[in-house]
Amino acid sequence: MKVIVTILSGLLFFPLFSNAMDKDNATSHIQTLVLGSGCFWGAEKGYEQLEGVLDAESGYADGRGFKATYKEIIKRKRRFDDNNYAEVVKVTYNANVISTRALLEHFFEKHDPTQENRQGNDIGTQYRSTILYNTPEQLSVIDDVKTEFQNLLNKAGYGEIKTQVKPLEEFYRAEEYHQNYIAKNPNGYCPDHSTGVTFKQAKQSKLDNSSLLVGKQVVIIDSRNYCPYCEKLKSTVLNDYQGTIPLTYRYADQLGGLVVRSATWATPTILFFENGKEVAGFQGFMTREDFYQALGAFKFGESEAYKVAFKKGTDRPFCKEYDLFKKTGEGVFIDKLSGAPLFETSKRFNSGTGWLSFTRPVKDSVTYHDDNSFGMQRIEIRSKSSGIHLGHVFKGEGPKGKDRYCINATVLEFKAKS
């Protein structure tokens, strides 16, 4: 009986053991790392964009002595408390798609690990750089990647890595309003505290900023990380910009030779330069209306053009711009800020009023608005691209009963037909 039991036990045990092993093999490639690199809002979004990352969850870890909540960790008394919890992101990833090494390379490249208990303007122990691992295999990879990145930082003139590496004890999920924070707050900026040092340093000549040192320039500080605010600014405002003031993208560490007054750690940041010196700077996403008003102030100053464009002013009849534009060769009149085509010379006529007049605008280039100012009922015309005031349209006052678009010349530029 004893032998039979042993055999039966073995027969029973072996299939159970095999099933367990099969299950382990099937799931061992799904791993987690808990990573802290400052404020968890932008970091969470960055990890979610990586192929092979299954989930990124904001939370708290590596603290003790009190309940892990946002309200508690931000208290003034905990700012430099070594027992405070760190803001972290729990990253669940498929190691067959994105390796632990690749994930750690992203971690080190996307913040400044040489700063202790801070990232940029975020100061305190909750913002410390930390890696909390789950397996000895992960620790081995962490040590190798950290050592390699330290060598790269040394060559770039940076100091010692302050990242704390510990086994994970417990992860506490952050409050729901912190999860997917950037998606819930579409107008803002992403903090970018990266050093610019990467594991695959491109061998290229030093970036030449000489063209940015002459005249008026617009420089957009972009992010090396995925930054939804940067992408939104491009897609909704900048991608169709055709203005005569050059617009250039740079990373924060590519501003050599320029005199910069604004902080450069937020992306996007919009900087206006004149002869290499910053005149104005704006941090974070800007709506189309806000961008063009800022650009208008930069380009026009306190001129008549600014009053017309943004205060619904009106040119003096027969002004100098009118005299310049009334008899040009063939071409198109463009928005003075955005560069978008507005009126073709083929639709221009002399109304004798002292203002430029056209029978119609370029298709889909303007918007129409009721204007009841000064006791009159008129239809105001604005540029669709920039929103600036252009003038008014008067029904049936053009040649052969066509409409007359009465347009202020000071907010236009002329582009001759090539």
Q: Kindly give the pairing relationship between strand 366-371 and strand 378-383.
A: antiparallel
- 296 with 306: CB under 8 angstroms? yes
SS (H, E, C) 16-70: HHHHHHHHHHHHCCEEEEEEEECCHHHHHHHHHCCCCEEEEEEEEECCCCCCCCH
Angle value at C-alpha 11, between 5 and 15, nearest 5 degrees: 145
- Please tell me which residue in 39, 190, 227, 230 is annotated as part of the active site: 39
For this structure, is 190 an active site residue? no
Locate 284 and state its tokens: 């974070």
Q: Using CA atoms, how far apart are residues 390 and 383, in angstroms rounded to an integer? A: 7
Within 312-375, residue ranges assigned H as helices are 320-325
Q: Could you list the beta-strand ranges (E) of 309-411.
A: 331-335, 341-344, 348-349, 356-358, 366-371, 378-383, 389-394, 404-407
All residues at 6 or more sequence positions from 145 whose CB lies less than 8 Å from its CB, including other chains? 101, 104, 105, 108
Q: Looking at the annotation, which residues are catalytic? A: 39
